[in-house]
């Protein structure tokens, strides 16, 4: 069954798309955790970070190149931002189609709660 993000990439579900090329699509998170919250998604449906293969190295690199471009376009590059990939249950992953979160537009504070 197609993931939510495959449906967005195919245009079957609406999204605020900010970038698209043959390999990568980026759109605004529906429930933003910061003033800028963009999800950068490979068109190839890799479920989790555990499923990244050697052959995906260039594609994964492209996610970061696109993130850098969007950060500049959104005007948050100089102040700074955070890039996150959540993996599986402990990482808090909800959508099993690999994606890079670009978060910024305010100070983001500490990374994780220390327990
Ligand atoms: P994860 O927890 O898997 O790393 O992140 C999934 C993200 O997808 C969450 O931040 C969530 O708000 C976002 N999301 C879930 N459903 C939708 C949707 O239908 N459209 C968009 N644009 N974002 C979504």
Structure tokens at 5: 């993000």
Angstrom distance (rounded) from CA 52 to CA 36? 26
- Please name every residue paired with 82 in a beta bridge, in sequence order, or none if there are none: 103
Distance, CA 101 to ligand 1 centroid (Å)? 9
Report the alpha-carbon distance of residue 104 to residue 74 in Å, rounded: 9
**pTM score, whole prediction:** 0.97
Q: With respect to CATH, is domain 4-91+100-104 assigned 3.90.1200.10?
A: no
Q: Which atom of ligand 1 is nearest to the CA of 95?
A: 3
Q: Tell me the CA end-to-end span of the chain in Å, nearest whole number.
A: 37
Q: Which residue has the tokens 């099993």?
A: 96
Computed on alpha carbons and rounded to an integer, the radius of gyration of the chain in Å comes to 14
* Catalytic-residue membership of 99: yes
Do residues 44 and 36 touch, judged by C-beta distance below 8 A?
no
d(CA 90, CA 64): 23
Instruction: Give the tens place of pLDDT for each residue, 60-99.
Output: 999 999 999 999 999 999 999 999 999 999 999 999 999 9
Around ligand 1, the residues with Cβ closer than 6 Å are 4, 15, 27-31, 39, 86, 92-95
Distance from residue 97's CA to the centre of ligand 1 (Å): 10
Q: What is the pLDDT of residues 18-74, one digit of tens each?
A: 999 999 999 999 999 999 999 999 999 999 999 999 999 999 999 999 999 999 999
């Amino acid at each position: 069954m197609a993931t939510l993000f495959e449906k967005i990439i195919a245009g079957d579900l609406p999204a605020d798309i900010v970038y698209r090329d043959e390999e990568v699509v980026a759109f605004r998170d529906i429930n933003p955790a910061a003033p800028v919250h963009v999800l950068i998604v490979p068109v190839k449906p890799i479920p989790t970070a555990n499923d990244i293969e050697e052959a995906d190295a260039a594609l994964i690199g492209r996610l970061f190149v696109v993130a850098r471009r969007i950060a500049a376009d959104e005007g948050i590059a100089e102040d700074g931002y955070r890039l996150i990939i959540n993996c599986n249950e402990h990482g808090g992953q909800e959508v099993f189609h690999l994606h890079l979160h670009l978060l910024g537009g305010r100070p983001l504070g500490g990374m994780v709660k220390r327990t």
